[in-house]
Structure 1
């Protein structure tokens, strides 16, 4: 999905003063990471380690895994395409609504896809499928599935691979509910992003946690040097300072709940409840595309038109909470438009 994603500021000639279209933490500590990279620019004089051994080791320690179970990727997006490639032609179930890259990656590699509402995850029969794809927390609706339920599904369908996108794991106060702790099921594959929580989406950095056999197979099918030297340095710095660099989740969720609560006061809107920094809203009249264009044109505010998420219609848009000042600007702008 090259077009239609969040943070698509390049599509507009107007200056974007406030960007609610991305789920990146507004209070991430990217400035400290940038300053660290400024002092380590010499790393670009050499090729990056194609195996990302130093970073893989640090991630493995963080995840209580062996390095052989870690694959560093150029963002979570590379992870999805590598996994879809490995399972080319498979029957796959994609929980919806969901990040479009799951479907795009599967279609590119000739999967036979079935789409199942994420609310049915605990009740669905997954025996016909080689792989099941979902986000936890799920993008765009912020659905949370307890880790115990995911592990239960893995054990019930041992011949099915469950691919769970944990890009937003750190952006909810319910982390303990969804975090996979203890022994990971052999048919469970976790994808992670280091760019959302740490507010460095331009770096493109993520990783996969899976069995050593799956990681080895993925490694054989990828292009060399897909993760550049600066990204690897950033990743090592993040892992060395992980908890300190995480955003203040109380502040983040406080602003999300504030924005949800205030928008519900508008009778022309419906905002879905969320325990993450992002949430869905729906217009009772009009289209999200029209609202998006007016907000950009009249107020310099960018939101995410969510109508291109499978299962959602033209009335849906997604918001990533920002600072209190920015949130108030958005509330005032929407109230002026949606009278």
Structure 2
């Protein structure tokens, strides 16, 4: 899906005052990162490291794993497409609703697809698939699945691709990277763009068994991680303890935001364990609501109707600063469909 994601303000002629459509941290990049990148400007005169070797070392050290278990990529999307290519033609299950690129990448490489609704996970269903893609916390709902390790254990012949792009926006959900020593049917994808507000640099990594990493390297193009993204990644791990998000305050703001939105009976607002959440208009469509908010108020939401399993009224909203959230609350009070 080339289009149909959030953060598409560049496609609208109206001025966007506040963007609720993207689930990237609204506070901007870590302090000092811009200055660091400017200080490294001369490095763009040379090719970057072929597979981001120096950042691989930092990722491995941070997580207490071997460098041979890490592959740094140009965002999680590259990780997804590499995995789909490596297992071309396999039987694959996608837990939905989900990020559209899982399905798009698998279809590109002729996977035999089945789709499992998120609410079926409670029963830890048995799998006959070769792979399963699951986003935990889920995008677009913000739901989390605490029994993932048990599900992996019960399905040893299925490779679990766990997308943890939004784990930095939760409290109490441990990364599955710690489980790699127990399960060889697990690969975990991490994004470095959401929590550190650098999606334009495209940076992420995946971890798995050394055998899987070698299989993916055989398919990977050289130099996909540019020099500035590489430097940003190293800066983040070097400054890690001092640049973490104020997650508890962000989630408290989300709770207040949701509580206020639920006062408006024209909308249904779903529970979420992250800073973003799913909502549904009871009148009209999300597409019409999006256009109303853009044209009348300069506010952008994510029309979520194109997520498999969702309807025409679903939209996704990310929490911004409280005073900005109030703008959306006030604007939605005017929605008549």
- TM-score, normalised to structure 1, is 0.96
SS in 1 for 2:32: helix
Alignment of 1:118-197 (within 5 A): 118-146=118-146, 149-176=147-174, 179-182=176-179, 183-197=181-195
| Structure 1 residues 22 and 191: alpha-carbon distance in aligned structure 2, compared to 1, 3 A threshold | same
Q: Identify which range, 26-35 or 82-91, moves more after superposition.
A: 26-35
Match of 1:295 in 2: 293
Is the 2:31–2:243 contact (alpha carbons within 8 Å) kept by the matching residues of 1? no
Match of 2:52 in 1: 52
State the 1:243 CA deviation.
2.6
- What's the counterpart of residue 215 of structure 2? 217
SS state of the match for residue 22, structure 1? Answer: coil
Does residue 83 (structure 1) correspond to residue 80 (structure 2)? The answer is no
Tell me the residue number matched to 1:242: 240
Contact 1:173 1:249 survives alignment (8 Å): yes
Matches within 5 A, 1:75-114: 75-114=75-114
Shift of residue 109 of structure 1? Answer: 0.6
Please report how far the alpha carbon of residue 120 of structure 1 lies from its aligned counterpart in structure 2 after TM superposition: 1.3
- Distance in 2 (alpha carbons) for counterparts of 1:243 and 1:120: 37
1:7 corresponds to? 7
Q: CA deviation at 1:126?
A: 4.0
Counterpart of 1:319?
317
Which ranges in structure 1 are unaligned for 5 or more consecutive residues? none
The within-5 A match list for 1:243-262 is: 243-262=241-260
Shift of 1:305: 0.2
The CA deviation string for residues 302-326 of structure 1, in whole angstroms up to 9 with x for no partner, is 0000000000000000001001121
User: How many pairs does the alignment contain?
Assistant: 336
Distance 2:176 2:251 in 1: 18
**Aligned Cα RMSD in Å?**
1.4
**Distance in 1 between the 2:177 and 2:222 partners?**
30
- Find the aligned partners of 1:270 and 1:285 in 2 and give their Cα distance: 11
CA shift digits 1:272-312 (9 cap, x unpaired): 01120000001111100000001001111000000000000
Structure 2 gaps, min length 5: none
State the TM-score, normalized to the length of structure 2: 0.96
SS at match of 2:249: helix
> What secondary structure, in the 3-state scheme, does the structure 2 residue paired with 1:181 have?
helix
d(CA) in 1 for partners of 2:44, 2:300: 34
